[in-house]
Chains A and B, each alone.
Chain A
Amino acid sequence: MKSIEASPELTLPGRKPIQLVDENGSAVGDLPDERVLRSLHRAMVLGRRFNRQATALTKQGRLAVYPSSVGQEACEVGATLALEADDWLFPTYRDTVAVVTRGVPAVETLTLLRGDWHSGYDPHAYRVAPLCTPLSTNGPHAVGLAHAARLRGDSLAVLVFMGDGATSEGDAHEAFNFAAVFNAPVVFFIQNNQWAISVPLSKQSKAPTLAHKAIGYGMPGYHVDGNDAAAVYTVVSEALARARSGGGPSIVEGLTYRIDPHTNSDDTNRYRDASDAEPWRAADPLLRFNRLLGVDESAYAEEADRMMAELRAEMNKDAHVDPDELFEHVYAVPTPRLRAQAAALRAELAADRGDA
Chain B
Amino acid sequence: MAQLNMAQALNRALRDAMTEDPNVVVFGEDVGPYGGVFTVTEGLTAQFGEERCFDSPLAESGIVGTAIGMAMYGMRPVVEMQFDAFAYPAFEQITSHVAKMRNRTRGKVALPMVIRIPYGGGIGGVEHHGDSSEAYYTHTPGLTVVTPGATADAYSMLRAAIESPDPVIFMEPKSRYWSRADLELPARTDPMNRAVVRREGQHVTLISYGSTVQTCMETAGAAKEEGWDVEVIDLRSLAPLDEDTVCASVRKTGRAVVVHESSVFSGYGAEVVATVSEKCFHWLEAPMLRVGGFDVPYPPKDLEEHQLPHPDRILDTIARLQWEDQ
Judging by beta carbons under 8 Å apart, are A199 and B30 in contact?
yes
Judging by beta carbons under 8 Å apart, are B30 and A197 in contact?
yes
Chain A residues, CB < 8 A from B37: 197
Instruction: Using known A-B contacts A171-B89, A321-B303, determine if residue A118 contacts B34 with beta carbons closer than 8 Å.
Output: no
Judging by beta carbons under 8 Å apart, are B296 and A338 in contact?
yes
Chain A residues, CB < 8 A from B297: 118, 330
A121 CB, min distance to chain B CBs, angstroms: 15
Judging by beta carbons under 8 Å apart, are A204 and B33 in contact?
no
Q: How many A-B residue pairs have CB under 8 A?
A: 100
Chain A residues, CB < 8 A from B299: 326
Within 8 A of A (CB), among B245-276: 265
Within 8 A of A (CB), among B48-66: 55, 57-59, 61-62
Q: Is there a chain A Cβ closer than 8 Å to B80's Cβ?
A: no
Instruction: Using known A-B contacts A168-B62, A197-B30, A198-B34, determine if residue A116 contacts B300 with beta carbons closer than 8 Å.
Output: yes
A119 CB, min distance to chain B CBs, angstroms: 9
Given the complex of chains A and B, what is the CA–CA distance between A147 and B288 in angstroms? 51
* Chain A CB within 10 Å, residue with most, of B124, B301, B302: B302
Given the complex of chains A and B, what is the CA–CA distance between A93 and B32 in angstroms? 24
Chain A residues, CB < 8 A from B35: 270
Chain B residues, CB < 8 A from A170: 59, 61-62, 89
Judging by beta carbons under 8 Å apart, are B295 and A337 in contact?
yes
Q: Is there a chain A Cβ closer than 8 Å to B128's Cβ?
A: yes
B110 CB, min distance to chain A CBs, angstroms: 26
Chain A residues, CB < 8 A from B89: 134, 169-171
Tell me whether chain B's interface is mostly helix, strand or loop, or mixed. loop
Instruction: Using known A-B contacts A198-B30, A341-B295, determine if residue A116 contacts B58 with beta carbons closer than 8 Å.
Output: no
Judging by beta carbons under 8 Å apart, are A116 and B302 in contact?
yes
Question: Which of B30, B127, B294, B313 touches A118 (beta carbons < 8 Å)?
Answer: B127
B79 CB, min distance to chain A CBs, angstroms: 15
Q: Is there a chain B Cβ closer than 8 Å to A135's Cβ?
A: yes
Size class of the A contact interface (CB-based, 8 Å): 35 or more
Chain B residues, CB < 8 A from A319: 302
Chain A residues, CB < 8 A from B296: 326-327, 330, 338
Q: Is there a chain B Cβ closer than 8 Å to A345's Cβ?
A: yes
Q: Is there a chain A Cβ closer than 8 Å to B85's Cβ?
A: yes
Judging by beta carbons under 8 Å apart, are B302 and A169 in contact?
no
Judging by beta carbons under 8 Å apart, are B302 and A338 in contact?
no
Q: Is there a chain B Cβ closer than 8 Å to A218's Cβ?
A: no
**What per-residue 1/0 map shows which CB atoms of B297-320 lie under 8 Å from chain A?**
101111100110000110000000
Question: Which of A117, A198, A335, A348 touches B300 (beta carbons < 8 Å)?
Answer: A117
Question: Which of A115, A196, A337, A341 touches B126 (beta carbons < 8 Å)?
Answer: A115
B206 CB, min distance to chain A CBs, angstroms: 19
Question: Which of A93, A134, A271, A341 touches B86 (beta carbons < 8 Å)?
Answer: A134
Given the complex of chains A and B, what is the CA–CA distance between A135 and B88 in angstroms? 12
Given the complex of chains A and B, what is the CA–CA distance between A205 and B57 in angstroms? 8
Residue of A nearest to B128 (CB): A133
Given the complex of chains A and B, what is the CA–CA distance between A118 and B298 in angstroms? 10
Q: Is there a chain B Cβ closer than 8 Å to A166's Cβ?
A: yes
B177 CB, min distance to chain A CBs, angstroms: 15
Question: Which of A64, A337, A348 touches B301 (beta carbons < 8 Å)?
Answer: A64
**What per-residue 1/0 map shows which CB atoms of B73-98 lie under 8 Å from chain A?**
00000000000011011000000000
Judging by beta carbons under 8 Å apart, are B86 and A326 in contact?
no
Residue of B nearest to A352 (CB): B312
Chain B residues, CB < 8 A from A113: 126
Given the complex of chains A and B, what is the CA–CA distance between A345 and B303 in angstroms? 12
Judging by beta carbons under 8 Å apart, are B124 and A168 in contact?
no
Judging by beta carbons under 8 Å apart, are B295 and A338 in contact?
yes
Given the complex of chains A and B, what is the CA–CA distance between A335 and B58 in angstroms? 38
Judging by beta carbons under 8 Å apart, are B303 and A326 in contact?
yes
B296 CB, min distance to chain A CBs, angstroms: 5
Question: Which of B58, B300, B307 touches A165 (beta carbons < 8 Å)?
Answer: B58
Given the complex of chains A and B, what is the CA–CA distance between A338 and B299 in angstroms? 14
Chain A residues, CB < 8 A from B30: 197-199
Given the complex of chains A and B, what is the CA–CA distance between A327 and B37 in angstroms? 32
Question: Which of B58, B61, B127, B313 touches A133 (beta carbons < 8 Å)?
Answer: B127
Given contacts A113-B126, A198-B30, 6 further A-B pairs with CB under 8 A are A134-B88, A199-B58, A326-B296, A327-B296, A330-B296, A348-B313
User: What are 5 A-B pairs with beta-carbon distances under 8 A?
Assistant: A115-B302, A198-B32, A203-B55, A337-B265, A341-B294
In the A-B complex, the 6 residue pairs with the smallest Cβ-Cβ separation, listed nearest first, are A115-B301, A198-B34, A168-B57, A118-B127, A165-B58, A168-B58
A-to-B contact residues, CB < 8 Å: 64-65, 93, 112-113, 115-118, 133-135, 165-166, 168-171, 196-199, 203-205, 270-271, 319, 321, 323, 326-327, 330, 335, 337-338, 341, 345, 348
B-to-A contact residues, CB < 8 Å: 29-30, 32-35, 37, 55, 57-59, 61-62, 85-86, 88-89, 124, 126-128, 265, 294-297, 299-303, 306-307, 312-313
